[in-house]
Amino acid sequence: MTQTLNGRTAEYEVDPIFLQRWSPRAFTGEAMPHEDLLRLFEAAHWAPSAFNGQPWRFVYAHRDTPAWAPLFDLLIPYNQSWAKNASVLMFVVSDRFRRTEGRDPAPVRSHAFDAGAAWGYLALEASRIGWAAHGMAGFDLARSYDALGVDADQYEVHAAIAVGRIADPEVLDEALRAREVPSGRNAVATFAFEGRLGGQRAAAPEA
């Protein structure tokens, strides 16, 4: 049973929030109440993680605060051109080690996987309460460790995130306006396989 929302069509029925959430570039630039930001972090910290280690870390800055410029300056020019109107910028970082009292830190292979789950929860909560979150890989990774105060031996920087209220696409440069629509997704059968990669593709049972 398909469902359509926000210009998107799902092959199988899911909660509407998955079709509602998308990654806009047009933001109003309005201030985000700190209480709303804390709600995003609250959602993020309920994500699952190996051994409940919760390796994710978020380094953030509200617009028009001293913390904003160092984070904004890490973005590539393309992302700066639209993220300048975001309400909050943040970076997702994860701890590479499991830290248990009385034991030496032990490497955790899934730290990035777990941080990704936390980002997903944060993005869904943003959409649910009337904001939008747009993840970005386009930033100066080499400079980010120093700018964010991150020890590369212990942590890994993964992505930047812009958060804001969705604005009219007219606030964007002309080249970006045509892209300001919720994107579609590949069919489930293109990425889900039974038994082994490239094996039997996932599909609905025949009636």
pLDDT, tens digit (0-9, with 9 covering 90-100), for 178-188? 899 999 999 99
Task: Output the pTM of the full model.
Answer: 0.94
Tokens of 13: 């029925």
51 in a structural domain = yes
Please tell me the predicted confidence (pLDDT) of residue 199.
84
Name residues whose C-beta falls within 8 Å of residue 104's C-beta, 6 or more positions apart in sequence: none
205 in a structural domain = no
176 in a structural domain = no
71 in a structural domain = yes
7 in a structural domain = no
Q: How many other C-beta atoms lie within 10 A of the C-beta of residue 120?
A: 16
Please tell me the predicted confidence (pLDDT) of residue 206.
65
* CATH code, domain with 138: 3.40.109.10
Containing 119, the helix (H) or strand (E) segment is: helix 111-128
Residues pairing with 193 in the sheet: 201
Domain count, the chain: 1
b vs e for 6-26, b when ≥16 Cβ sit within 10 Å of the residue's Cβ?
eebebeeeeeeeebebbebbb
Tokens of 132: 């939008």
18 in a structural domain = no
For the chain, report the end-to-end CA distance as a whole number of angstroms.
12
In angstroms, the CA 176 to CA 26 distance is 9
Please tell me the predicted confidence (pLDDT) of residue 173.
92
Q: How confident is the model at residue 100 (pLDDT cuts 50, 70, 90)?
A: confident
Domain that holds residue 117: 24-166
- Given a cut of 70, whether residue 154 has pLDDT beyond it is yes
180 in a structural domain = no
Q: How many other C-beta atoms lie within 10 A of the C-beta of residue 156?
A: 18
In angstroms, the CA 89 to CA 179 distance is 21
Percent residues over pLDDT 90 in the chain: 87
Please tell me the predicted confidence (pLDDT) of residue 207.
55
Q: What is the CA radius of gyration of the chain?
A: 19
173 in a structural domain = no
